[in-house]
Amino acid sequence: MATSLIPFLFHKLILTSEGIQIVNARNNIHHLRWSEIGKYKEHEVLQIFKIYDKQSKLVYAVDFKAENFPLLSIQFRQRFAPIAVAVHEPQVIHENDLKEVLNSYPLPYRVDIAHTRREYDALLASAAPKCVVLLGGLHDIENHSISPRTLATSPAEIIALAATFDVSEWASAETIDNARRDLGNSLGRWPTDTPERSLSVHPSGMDAWLSGDTCAAVLPTTSSWSAPAYLPFADLDQCPAPYIHVALAKRWHEQFGAEIVAITSYTVEFKVGRPPTNRAACEQLAWEHLLYAPECLGEDAILDYAHSLKDTATWFFLWD
């Protein structure tokens, strides 16, 4: 399985005259000197730097502000000093820019800008019982507009297909056994004590988006599990078909009270009302997550990931 992006999504990158500091959410710092860096490349759409050391070990650093990319690229190439910090800065979206994007990339439902969490909460209240889903930024709106035209399948058709999809067969014992063999000896173990919570899993993109301006859609449905029918993905690596998103979201809503709160161009985030409470349910759910989005494990083994599901209120999935 490829190295996952998820553990690195919320790191901070600090460039110095000596090299790079990677600071994680616990403020632990990993130093990488310029002399140790073998190469790097940029993924501008996801705003991720992929940095390789001399041993070809992959280190990710993330900058959420797109405007920093040209500057940071120059600093990488020329190793500038003094310190430059790439941190998450609040996104700013102007009404006129949103109107311009929607004129070019129309969506068949209402889209608002939530400038603050309070505005988002007010939108939830005013739109009820309709479903409100965070979309991200303006580029996400463009992608959400293009995908339905690419797929040429209506939301009603996607929901109908989901109703015929057998999730139990899709996540059958045979399928899980095949996935287990693919993982080999890297299954991990079910912790016997209370382990330190891994940062590899369950980040909340929603918290980051609501620290600034973010776009939110009011969908013509009262069920969040049907949201992927209105906001389908197209042409993402290892990403299931839209009707599978819907079928799994409905299953997880019924079993665990999971509600979809955000669908960007590349991610889906759930808030979970009733997380699983026993090992068997956690392990089954972990395998379903792995089959749904292989990046979900991060750097964790499957049993460590399963254990983490016992007490988490957020599930975060990403496709590249």
Is residue 78 very low, low, confident or very high in pLDDT (cuts 50, 70, 90)?
A: very low
Percent above pLDDT 70 for the chain? 68
Comparing 124-128, 129-133, 224-228, 234-238, the range with the smallest average pLDDT is: 234-238
Q: What average pLDDT does the structure give for the chain?
A: 78
Mean pLDDT of 256-277: 93
Tokens 């040209």 correspond to what residue? Answer: 70
pLDDT computed for residue 202 by the predictor: 58
- The beta strand positions in 1-76, using DSSP E, are 12-15, 19-23, 29-33, 37-43, 48-53, 58-62
pLDDT of 95 > 90? The answer is yes
Please state, in angstroms and rounded to a whole number, the distance separating the CA atoms of residues 315 and 70.
32
pLDDT of 297 > 70? The answer is yes
pLDDT of 44 > 60? The answer is no
Type of residue at 230: Y
Is residue 75 very low, low, confident or very high in pLDDT (cuts 50, 70, 90)?
A: very low
The pTM of this model reads: 0.74
DSSP class per residue in 233-287: --S-TTPPPHHHHHHHHHHHHHHH-EEEEEE-SSEEEEEESS---SHHHHHHHHH
Q: Is the dihedral of CA 87, 52, 140, 308 positive or negative?
A: negative
More reliable by pLDDT, 89 or 117: 117
Backbone angles phi, psi at 50, to 5 degrees: -105, 115
Please state, in angstroms and rounded to a whole number, the distance separating the CA atoms of residues 113 and 92.
10
Please state, in angstroms and rounded to a whole number, the distance separating the CA atoms of residues 191 and 180.
18
The pair of three-digit structure tokens given for residue 40, joined into one six-digit string = 């790097």
